[in-house]
């Protein structure tokens, strides 16, 4: 079921481009849109029927809208950090047409059906793009897991180490096992922020302005050991698991081996881990702080190899913004999160093209695979008849230099400031409606700029 706000009627449209990224490859084509869906994929020189609108994109590439399954909107409760109005405008500006909101850092966190209802009530009138929701698995909500599943969340997120907010505590090994056993009974997906707390406690505490000191505080072994524990339990409990924001390459062989053993595991990484390196981070530049951290160039190369061979399935933003005052110049006290929802596509395309990948690879990592992860691959993630007409026109050869003031997310703090990226989003469509935002708008204290909602609130439909 969809909970939808009013959507303006769509006009039948024929989109023409010499570079349409289709499931079978990239080629010249014309895409017919009718009733909010892709009606047909036609030859490039197809003539639009009488009364249809023709949009000729020339050599601008036409991609399916991106699906970002890792977004912290922080609304309600921490709306000064972000908010659904600003986050979804940023998504639309970046070619993202579906987001899945994380169960933290909102207040209340999405750990009960009542909290989910509050979040839906806040999101519905503000949604520029489609929004789905993750539920949370915390030590005290075992009785809430099945009701949340029945209410339509896409799965459940947990932490194995402190989350950074008191209202979303981590699972110890015993509770992790209990949650996996419970979720396996109704085949729900568990997302895991996997860093081993013992490894973190044994490492030097993060402190001061030097990035090298911060990088020593969460060692790669923390990711390796925690992911190994998750995979062992997933094997024993036959639970579906998704490993979040891989930063270190150390767990990759474990993931590949678990897949060979039949463990149902998927994994993601993020644009900042694929493009930025520890060598890029100046001391005191805490806009680069995230947990787990940006690591060195050799580690980045290993993540790209894992994307190429399929060990890593998805590339998603882990958009985790905050107010500027929380990015203190001390890596020990600064908030750990990078705001990149609007910039993921050009960031990844910049590095992917440099490494010889094509737009079809980027679409697979950032649209098709995330849509499959949440069970919406019959509607999202590809330009094909019957799919939602969620589309993005990308000029893959144009460049942009990131100006924080030109971004749509609420606070102009970003690790991408001043960086030149390749690939400019020209237009974005949601179910055939052009949702391309204009210039960033001033925000009210609630973080809600004037905007007509076009997005729908999505619920899980399978399994």
pLDDT digits (tens, 9 = 90+) for 38-59: 999 999 999 998 999 999 999 9
**Does residue 404 sit in helix, strand or coil?**
helix
Average pLDDT over residues 420-437: 97
Distance CA 174, CA 178 (A): 6
Reduced 3-state DSSP string for 198-257:
HHHHHCCCCCCCCHHHHHCCCCHHHHHHHHHHHHHHHHHHCCEEEECCCCCCCCHHHHHH
Residue 21: CB partners within 8 Å, gap ≥ 6? 61, 62, 63, 64, 359, 360, 363, 383
Name which of 19, 105, 94 is nearest 63 in CA terms.
19
The pLDDT score that the predictor gives to residue 439 is: 81
**Pairing status of strand 53-56 against strand 13-22:** parallel
pLDDT class of 452 with cuts at 50, 70, 90: low
Residue pair 119/132 in contact by the 8 Å Cβ criterion: no
What average pLDDT does this structure show over 320-332?
A: 96
| DSSP β-bridge partners for residue 136 | 157
Residue 438 has a pLDDT of 86
Predicted pLDDT at 463: 66
In whole angstroms, give the CA distance from residue 164 to residue 373: 26
**Mean pLDDT, rounded, for 101-107:** 97
Neighbour tally for 176: CB within 10 Å: 24
In the chain, the percentage of residues whose pLDDT exceeds 70 is 95
pTM score, whole prediction = 0.95
Give burial (CB, 10 Å; 0-12/13-18/19+) of 429: buried
Instruction: Give the model's pLDDT for residue 7.
Output: 35
Q: Which two tokens stand for residue 49?
A: 């029927």
DSSP state of 388: B
Nearest to 15 by CA among 50, 49, 62: 62
pLDDT of residue 384: 98
Q: How far apart are CA 396 and CA 76, in angstroms?
A: 36
Four-point Cα dihedral 430, 113, 192, 377, nearest 10: -30
3-state secondary structure of 119: helix
Phi-psi region of 68 (alpha: psi -120 to 50; beta: other; left: phi over 0): beta
pLDDT, greater one: 5 or 129: 129
pLDDT digits (tens, 9 = 90+) for 171-196: 999 999 999 999 999 999 999 999 99
| Separation CA 414–CA 417 (nearest Å) | 6
Burial class, 15, CB count within 10 angstroms (exposed 0-12 / middle 13-18 / buried 19+) = buried
pLDDT tens-digit profile of 254-289? 999 999 999 999 999 999 999 999 999 999 999 999
Query: Reduced to 3 states, what is the DSSP secondary structure of residue 2?
Result: coil
Of the two residues 453 and 420, the one the predictor is more confident about is 420
Token pair 């949370």 is found at 136
CA distance 433 to 453: 11
Is 4 a residue whose pLDDT tops 80? no
Q: Give the pLDDT confidence of 211-259 residue by residue, as tens digits.
A: 999 999 989 999 999 999 999 999 999 999 999 999 999 999 999 999 9
pLDDT of residue 440: 81
- What is the reported pLDDT for 219? 93
pLDDT in tens, 365-384: 999 999 999 999 999 999 99
Cα end-to-end span (Å), the chain: 14
Q: What tokens appear for 176 in the block?
A: 């992790």
Q: Which tokens sit at 148? A: 């949340």
3-state secondary structure of 120: helix
Length of the chain: 463
Which of 370, 344, 192 minimizes the C-alpha distance to 274? 344
Over the stretch 346-367, which tens digit does the pLDDT of each residue have? 999 999 999 999 999 999 999 9
CA–CA separation, 457 vs 164, rounded Å? 27
Cα–Cα distance measured from residue 15 to residue 32, given in angstroms and rounded to the nearest whole number: 6
- pLDDT(441) > 80: no
Q: How far apart are CA 378 and CA 351, in angstroms?
A: 29
Res. 304: pLDDT tops 60: yes
Residue 6 reports pLDDT greater than 60? no
The mean pLDDT of the chain is 94
DSSP class of residue 107? S
pLDDT at 5: 36
Q: How far apart are CA 34 and CA 13, in angstroms?
A: 7
């Amino acid at each position: 079921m969809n909970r939808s706000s009013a959507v303006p009627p769509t006009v039948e449209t024929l989109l023409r481009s010499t570079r349409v990224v289709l499931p079978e490859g990239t080629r010249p084509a014309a895409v017919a849109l009718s009733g909010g869906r892709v009606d047909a994929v036609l030859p490039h020189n197809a003539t639009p029927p009488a009364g249809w609108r023709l949009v000729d994109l020339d050599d601008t590439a036409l991609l399916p809208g991106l699906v970002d399954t890792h977004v912290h909107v922080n609304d309600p409760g921490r709306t000064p950090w972000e908010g659904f109005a600003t986050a979804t405008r940023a998504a639309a500006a970046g070619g993202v047409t579906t987001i899945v909101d994380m169960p933290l850092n909102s207040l209340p966190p999405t750990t009960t059906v009542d909290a989910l209802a509050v979040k839906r009530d806040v999101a519905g009138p503000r949604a520029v793009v489609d929004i789905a929701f993750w539920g949370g698995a915390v030590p005290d909500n075992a009785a809430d897991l099945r009701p949340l599943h029945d209410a339509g969340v896409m799965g459940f997120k947990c932490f194995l180490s402190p989350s950074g907010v008191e209202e979303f505590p981590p699972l110890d090994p015993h509770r992790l096992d209990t949650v996996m056993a419970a979720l396996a009974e109704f085949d729900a997906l568990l997302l895991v922020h996997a860093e081993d707390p013992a490894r973190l406690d044994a490492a030097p505490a993060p402190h001061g302005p030097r990035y090298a000191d911060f990088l020593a505080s969460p060692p790669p072994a923390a990711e390796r050991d925690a992911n190994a524990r998750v995979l062992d339990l997933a094997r024993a409990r036959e639970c579906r698991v998704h490993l979040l924001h891989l930063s270190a390459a150390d767990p990759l062989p474990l993931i590949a081996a678990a897949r060979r053993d039949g463990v149902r595991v998927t994994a993601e990484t993020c644009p900042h881990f694929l493009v930025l390196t520890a060598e890029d981070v100046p001391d005191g530049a805490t806009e680069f702080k995230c947990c787990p951290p940006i690591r060195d160039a050799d580690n980045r190369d290993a993540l790209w190899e894992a994307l190429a061979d399929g060990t890593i399935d998805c590339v998603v933003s882990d958009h985790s913004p905050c107010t500027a005052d929380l990015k203190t110049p001390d890596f020990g006290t600064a908030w750990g999160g990078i705001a990149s929802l609007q910039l993921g596509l050009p960031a990844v395309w910049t590095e992917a093209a440099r490494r010889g990948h094509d737009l079809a690879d980027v679409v697979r990592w950032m649209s098709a695979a995330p849509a499959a992860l949440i069970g919406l691959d019959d509607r999202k993630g590809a330009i094909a008849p019957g799919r939602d007409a969620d589309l993005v026109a990308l000029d893959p050869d144009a460049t942009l230099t990131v100006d924080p003031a030109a971004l749509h997310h609420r606070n102009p703090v970003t690790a991408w400031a001043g960086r030149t990226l390749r690939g400019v989003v020209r237009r974005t469509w949601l179910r055939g409606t052009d949702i391309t935002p204009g210039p960033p708008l001033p925000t009210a204290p609630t973080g809600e700029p004037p905007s007509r909602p076009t997005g729908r609130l999505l619920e899980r439909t399978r399994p």
